A and B are shown apart, each in its own frame.
Chain A
């Protein structure tokens, strides 16, 4: 008997080709009815027997578009209605939105095939997209995801595109970003002086690739913002880029033309391959095969043995890399700590001193995003930066209650998390808030979210550090919106982020939280950074920390590993560090150490100290450099004779100075640097398990920037095998301060006050 059923599908179901998919499935089932987007996701009405409706739903859930994410579905019978055929109903203009925003998707294989096909009308068209791929969040102006609510609406579809758009049998049926060379987004190639070059997409891309081949620096506008590019095998081009970007040593990412080419140069696991070719198309940190002949390795990642590699995420990058055929450097288009640039005028103003040529296009980017960055140890994913392809949703968590909350995050790796409805929205990584431009982008993004959801927060969560720009801003916003503001300790927020990511707040057993990072403002006004907590029954308490040592010279200590080294060395042994300082520095620092009130338990600085002690680096040029170089040394160790530098040491708080003393002894004893570096990380892994055993924990949750260290993670996973102890890490979120905003939210919602 014919009945009418209503099906609601929620999750990431808009802007992913869901309605066309439902349409074609209904044709297969020969159903009459309708489909539309609404405030909860996708709403379907069908006339069918109960059995057919059930089958339809099963098929629908099983074969949903690969880039969609279904969080929940509902089916119910409603009063009978007669439908005439099957219709896609356009979205209602005004309603309260309660759905995830759609992230950007990297170019799909079908679109790639088309732009490579000489006979296809999109041959070489640099903005080819379909219902399965293309920019979404980057071009969003309003809810829900309809062409009129994106900046693509500035381009009027030509008759051919329009006919694709309305043809249910076309793969671009209802493709909101549809366009072609005749009606779509245009490229503009200029030199730094503004002189423009003529040609169609194919010709302009060819010229661009010639410039790169000849050693020029290109500022290229991808669909998520500008990239700075140059030949990855041209030493002087890379040096010039480093000099102009004022980035002396921080590694550059590589853009490769094809997976095959990546496989030729790197050892690639299946997990890594999956990530590279996923709709996120992130930068993945890879291990190279012995040597890569046509890559300027020292210039790309000085002192490191791993490289960040990605595949073209857009049609533009695909045509360019097809043309080039060799890897290039592709780094975010910005200068010195500013956010990624996405406006043509700003690019010209700020990058004219850097780039020789500009490849602009005329699609307005509303939410610029950096490329996301991952690394893997076996199956385990370490997120280094969560941005394009992932932001702005956090689908793992349904907020409890209906308070509207804004969490402001930290300072150096800023993000914010907004809860305007029953979803959690997490901004992409926005950068260091010291920078005015980042701070502006941060504020504007909050404003954009406020507009998108047409709602203001009632509660604002900030870090307990009074001088974080995000804390200052949070207090200002609280005043402006008449919201309550609440400050949350940095490391507790880190811990809460893992608990939230793994939904562990209702865990029956107690959980050990290890939060190791560079710095965070502690509850005792000291600089925390080597913390362990115990979590049980919605309460969190500090348990054990690294023994305090002196924090010297404000932010300078984080930039100069030699200062951490000097600080941690026991008084009687400070002489060891003397040669790293000038006469004046030596006198001044020793004097300052005499009655320095500010102490720290930072593990990040302990890594710095060890790096300095081992002669790896004394003064860094980018954040995390010492830890990366140290990890690189540790990775070079091939033996299996690691030393536990705290073996036999009985301690309450972890004896920072003993570790340094014993490492120094190992150096005196002639141990190799890789072995010591490896043993140091081994020691830290052992410390974690010793604490767990000593205090009877069977679940450990780790967070903080230190847990981006792949060697440490590998060792922990190995130690956990057959130990009965479960390990939890940040996975979708980065373990560094990017997760603070989400952690603040989790803490606020789940920890008893």
Chain B
């Protein structure tokens, strides 16, 4: 961390004037250094060829530091993963901060460092950015926005309309870890042992699958907010297909499972970060699974269900003890329904 004569960020740091420059010059540029960023122009000059994916996401998370990561790497991984879900190789990101005055510089710095490492790991560059500071009470410590671009892999053909009856649905790993990690720190809940967020970049894993299986991968999606249930319900509704899931096949960390149980939460609605769901042709499903399980991000991968012709638009889960349940989207908190 660079030496500075202030230890919290104030309104002046977002004015675009001297203070802004001192904050940024003191290390941001240094830390995230690359040729394009170094030009320090109003915008970045990029070379892109062919079909390109473009995605954006804003990150607000409380607390900003949590077991397994912080808001910085979340912001990089989030956009990197969204690009990867398009079948793209993430290349360049923009990075914008909205900082609430009073944020300790130390915390800002830690976030930046996390961003740097996340970028290196994912193989992306921050090429442009922005910083604003808002009055106390008008934000929640720090909001981060990232946008990103990357060329679509030539073998990729990912579209909701490619999904067809018989497709297998593969999940890349344990569900509900991120949401439960956030919740445990936010609410101060101590479970048996610490639950860590699963935040990570999935682009290498996914591009390897695309390289191997190409068009047989029909759809990729990351079940972040709203969890696996919400994402699958959205897909079923928009593509008018039916989805059958099997509860017993859901991989879950034992600690996370018991924390969900304890709180009466359905893990299918809990947010994930380093997780993806793939709809693949039945014929390659087992091979995809094997390939995935060899990857560090897919060791717990599992087939969790399939696409069916029955009950279009509906997601039905067969529970571990038999009986089928209708999966619907949750508009808000999980409210009790039992009378």
The answer to whether A binds B is yes
For residue A436, which residues in chain B have a CB less than 8 angstroms away from its CB? 311, 314, 316, 324-326
Of all chain A residues, the one with the shortest Cβ separation from B331 is A466
CA distance A433 to B326 in the complex (A): 8
Q: Tell whether, in the assembled complex, residue A588 and residue B263 are in contact, meaning their CB atoms are under 8 Å apart.
A: yes
B328 CB-CB contact with A under 8 Å: yes
The residue that B336 contacts in the complex, of A472, A555, A584, A737, with Cβ under 8 A, is A555
A-B contacts, CB under 8 A, total: 113
Q: Tell whether, in the assembled complex, residue B262 and residue A413 are in contact, meaning their CB atoms are under 8 Å apart.
A: no
The residue that B339 contacts in the complex, of A335, A412, A439, A467, with Cβ under 8 A, is A412
**Interface residues contributed by chain B, number (CB under 8 Å):** 31
B192 CB-CB contact with A under 8 Å: yes
Q: Tell whether, in the assembled complex, residue A585 and residue B262 are in contact, meaning their CB atoms are under 8 Å apart.
A: yes
Q: Tell whether, in the assembled complex, residue A555 and residue B262 are in contact, meaning their CB atoms are under 8 Å apart.
A: no
For residue A418, which residues in chain B have a CB less than 8 angstroms away from its CB? none
Q: Tell whether, in the assembled complex, residue A338 and residue B323 are in contact, meaning their CB atoms are under 8 Å apart.
A: yes
Q: Tell whether, in the assembled complex, residue A435 and residue B262 are in contact, meaning their CB atoms are under 8 Å apart.
A: no
B50 CB-CB contact with A under 8 Å: no
For residue A552, which residues in chain B have a CB less than 8 angstroms away from its CB? 264
**Interface stretch among B5-13, B113-121, B182-190?**
B182-190
Q: Tell whether, in the assembled complex, residue B189 and residue A554 are in contact, meaning their CB atoms are under 8 Å apart.
A: no
A73 CB-CB contact with B under 8 Å: no
**Interface residues contributed by chain A, number (CB under 8 Å):** 49
A140 CB-CB contact with B under 8 Å: no
Of all chain B residues, the one with the shortest Cβ separation from A596 is B187
For residue B338, which residues in chain A have a CB less than 8 angstroms away from its CB? 412, 518-519, 555, 558-559, 623
Q: Tell whether, in the assembled complex, residue A467 and residue B328 are in contact, meaning their CB atoms are under 8 Å apart.
A: yes
Which residues in chain A, 397-443, are within 8 Å of chain B measured between CB atoms?
A: 410-413, 433-437, 439
Which residues in chain B, 181-213, are within 8 Å of chain A measured between CB atoms?
A: 187-192
A557 CB to nearest B CB, Å: 6
Interface string of A539-559 (1 = CB under 8 A from B): 000000000000111111111
Of all chain B residues, the one with the shortest Cβ separation from A246 is B321
CA distance A596 to B46 in the complex (A): 50
A736 CB-CB contact with B under 8 Å: yes
A587 CB-CB contact with B under 8 Å: yes
Q: Tell whether, in the assembled complex, residue A465 and residue B335 are in contact, meaning their CB atoms are under 8 Å apart.
A: yes
A520 CB-CB contact with B under 8 Å: yes
Q: Tell whether, in the assembled complex, residue B325 and residue A553 are in contact, meaning their CB atoms are under 8 Å apart.
A: no
Q: Tell whether, in the assembled complex, residue A336 and residue B322 are in contact, meaning their CB atoms are under 8 Å apart.
A: yes
A282 CB-CB contact with B under 8 Å: no
B304 CB-CB contact with A under 8 Å: no
Q: Tell whether, in the assembled complex, residue B322 and residue A335 are in contact, meaning their CB atoms are under 8 Å apart.
A: yes
Which residues in chain A, 368-417, are within 8 Å of chain B measured between CB atoms?
A: 410-413
Interface string of B240-280 (1 = CB under 8 A from A): 00000000000000000000011111000000000000000
CA distance A584 to B191 in the complex (A): 6
Q: Tell whether, in the assembled complex, residue A556 and residue B328 are in contact, meaning their CB atoms are under 8 Å apart.
A: no
CA distance A695 to B240 in the complex (A): 56
For residue A753, which residues in chain B have a CB less than 8 angstroms away from its CB? none
Of all chain A residues, the one with the shortest Cβ separation from B244 is A436
For residue A559, which residues in chain B have a CB less than 8 angstroms away from its CB? 338
A222 CB to nearest B CB, Å: 22
Q: Tell whether, in the assembled complex, residue A588 and residue B339 are in contact, meaning their CB atoms are under 8 Å apart.
A: no
CA distance A598 to B335 in the complex (A): 9
Of all chain A residues, the one with the shortest Cβ separation from B323 is A336
For residue B334, which residues in chain A have a CB less than 8 angstroms away from its CB? 467, 554-555
A527 CB-CB contact with B under 8 Å: yes
CA distance A437 to B294 in the complex (A): 38
The residue that A518 contacts in the complex, of B264, B325, B326, B339, with Cβ under 8 A, is B339
For residue A585, which residues in chain B have a CB less than 8 angstroms away from its CB? 262
6 A-B residue pairings within 8 Å (CB atoms): A436-B316, A466-B332, A467-B328, A521-B335, A592-B189, A592-B263
Chain A interface residues toward B at CB < 8 A: 246, 335-338, 410-413, 433-437, 439, 465-469, 472, 517-521, 527, 551-559, 584-585, 587-588, 591-592, 594, 598, 604, 623, 705, 736-737
Q: Which 5 A-B pairs have the closest CB atoms?
A: A556-B264, A553-B264, A436-B324, A558-B338, A554-B264
Q: Apart from A435-B326, A467-B330, what 7 extra A-B contacts exist at CB < 8 Å?
A: A246-B322, A337-B323, A472-B328, A519-B338, A554-B265, A558-B336, A604-B339
